């Protein structure tokens, strides 16, 4: 268990940051971890991305997350309540999430601003594969919240990013994309279930 507080909402920072200076491409693997109770206090203009953890590929870095439980994390003025993944220059780097759970995370911003990705925020040019993973009961709050479960920013990637199997359920967004809000092409394969998400 890796945590930044004793319960949801009590954390003092995000739990983990991988390549926080956006200046190195390297491979990373998380397995069999519980990442919980992170609360990122930073602002959108600084480092308000990722409550549980954030990752930057820097072009060619890869990250694999297997059999992990990322839950009850939050950001107070940013995006990616549970996870933020980015590949700022674009490139072959890929994020792979499998057999895991991303549940009960919250992205929020002050009123009038847009919180994105209650569960997971995916930045531009960032390729991902999500397999047999539960992304449930996350929230993108405040007046313009988008992507309760996932928010995926354009432009997309080649090859295209994929969601294979798993469940995206019970997520909420204030405006659009209760389960998924995407402005990039993604492939959702047979077996994925996306029920009971809400956005007004």
DSSP state of 119: S
pLDDT in tens, 49-92: 999 999 999 999 999 999 999 999 999 999 999 999 999 999 99
Q: Which residues contact 197 (CB under 8 A, 6 or more apart)?
A: 148, 149, 168, 169, 170, 171, 172, 173, 178, 179
Query: Token pair of 5, please?
Result: 């507080």
pLDDT in tens, 135-182: 999 999 988 999 999 999 999 999 999 999 999 999 999 999 999 999
Contact present, 142 and 148 (Cβ < 8 Å) = no
In angstroms, the CA 96 to CA 189 distance is 15
What percent of the chain shows pLDDT beyond 90? 96
In angstroms, the CA 161 to CA 42 distance is 29
Cut 0.85: pTM above it: yes
């Amino acid at each position: 268990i890796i945590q930044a507080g004793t319960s949801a909402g009590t954390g003092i920072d995000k739990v983990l940051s991988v390549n926080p200076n956006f200046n190195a491409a390297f491979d990373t693997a998380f397995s069999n971890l519980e990442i919980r109770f992170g609360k990122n206090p930073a602002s959108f203009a600084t480092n308000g991305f990722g409550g549980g953890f954030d990752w930057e590929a820097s072009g060619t870095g890869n990250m694999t997350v297997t059999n992990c439980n990322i839950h009850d994390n939050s950001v107070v003025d940013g995006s990616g309540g549970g996870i933020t993944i980015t590949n700022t220059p674009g490139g072959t780097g890929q994020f792979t999430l499998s057999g895991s759970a991303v549940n009960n995370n919250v992205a929020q911003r002050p009123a009038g601003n847009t919180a994105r990705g209650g569960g997971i925020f995916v930045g531009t040019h960032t390729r991902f594969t999500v397999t047999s993973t539960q992304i449930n009961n996350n929230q993108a709050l405040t007046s313009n919240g988008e992507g309760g479960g996932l928010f995926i920013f354009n432009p997309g990637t080649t090859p295209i990013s994929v969601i294979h199997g798993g469940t995206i359920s019970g997520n909420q967004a204030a405006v659009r994309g209760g389960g998924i809000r995407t402005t990039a092409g993604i492939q959702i394969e047979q077996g994925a279930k996306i029920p009971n998400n809400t956005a007004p």
